[in-house]
Amino acid sequence: MQAESDGTQSPAYHPLFSSSDGDTVLGSKDRTLFRVHSYTLKTTSGWFRTMFTLPTGGEPESPASHIYLDEDSTTLEGLLRLACGLPIPSLDSYDVIEAILLAAEKYDMPGPMSIVRALIATPPFVADPLRLYVVTCRYGWADEARMASQHTLTLSLHEPEHRMQLMKLSPLALLSLFELHRGRREALRRRLDDPPFVNAGGDTLCSNCGNVVDYHTWRELKYAIILEMDVRPLGDTVCNKGLLEWPAARACWDARCVTCDRPLYDQKETLRVIRECIDQLPRTIDPDPALPIIAS
């Protein structure tokens, strides 16, 4: 921030912040001016409240002095609109809201931050759930972070395009997210090794005729399920497509006892139980209220 009073340039005033009633002029880094009431700044910003209470050495502030800030005009406009109760600007992209949030944090302006927080769960932001998780962890918004973590279950965190966002998270936030994704896969894997998917006694006999049965088709289907959960931990593609269309699934439902020709697996009942298992898996990060802050 710097103060200027030379008359070498005449930067334009923003049309929404050009009233002569304002007694403070803020300047963006691209030299757009915003005339604002000091009372508004003092009541909405801890940073400005402190600045206006600092001693001035006994000399009155020059009416031509401008306070130039580090933010560009788009960010300042959005921030001041929110702080002054003007119509909300178009807050529909992360580039816009992240710049406003950083400025609001810098100038200790909880009002604009609370408005952005209320909008953060809307479709434009939920469409990029990993970035949403990063933002909500950054500001300690626990409920929104848990919501974001659930939406990340459609993603494979191991893909290279997610690396930059993951690097912004603190170790604890990162581990919490990986534990959610891996935990769902591992919980389902363990469940598929229990009855009714396998015999409780661990034998490999046909339940109808007692003949020895090779259950390799089920093992191959289980392997396909676990691989799919690794790619998309939500599990919707397992239930809605995989168990109906995968070659391993079709082979499993077609498998029969070589002695009595009885189907080894009840497709309808197996699908129902697998869906129930997936529905019972954890959907969000651990609801610990002590949410971690991202690294940078």
* DSSP secondary structure string for all residues of 151-173: HGGGS-TTSGGGHHHHTTS-HHH
Every domain of the chain with CATH number 3.30.710.10 lies at 1-86
pLDDT at residue 199, rounded to an integer = 65
pTM of the predicted model as reported, rounded to 2 decimal places: 0.85
Tell the burial category of 120 from Cβ atoms under 10 Å away from its Cβ (0-12, 13-18, 19+). buried
**Cβ–Cβ contacts within 10 Å for residue 50, how many?**
11
Backbone angles phi, psi at 62, to 5 degrees: -70, 135
pLDDT at residue 207, rounded to an integer = 73
Each residue's pLDDT tens digit, 276-286: 999 999 999 98
* DSSP secondary structure string for all residues of 167-207: TTS-HHHHHHHHHHHHHHHHHHHHHTTSTTTS-TT---B-T
Longest dimension (CA), the chain: 103
pLDDT at residue 273, rounded to an integer = 92
Residue the block writes with tokens 């939920």:
126
pLDDT at residue 4, rounded to an integer = 47
**What CATH number labels 1-86?**
3.30.710.10
Low-confidence ranges of the chain (pLDDT < 50): 1-7, 64
Name the nearest CA neighbour of 198 among 224, 225, 216: 216
pLDDT at residue 202, rounded to an integer = 53
Q: State the Cα–Cα distance between residues 191 and 213, nearest whole angstrom.
A: 21
Residues present in the chain in total:
296
Give the rounded percent of residues in the chain with a pLDDT score beyond 70: 88
In the structure encoding, which two tokens stand for residue 292, read together? 């971690």
Q: State the Cα–Cα distance between residues 262 and 240, nearest whole angstrom.
A: 26
pLDDT at residue 225, rounded to an integer = 96
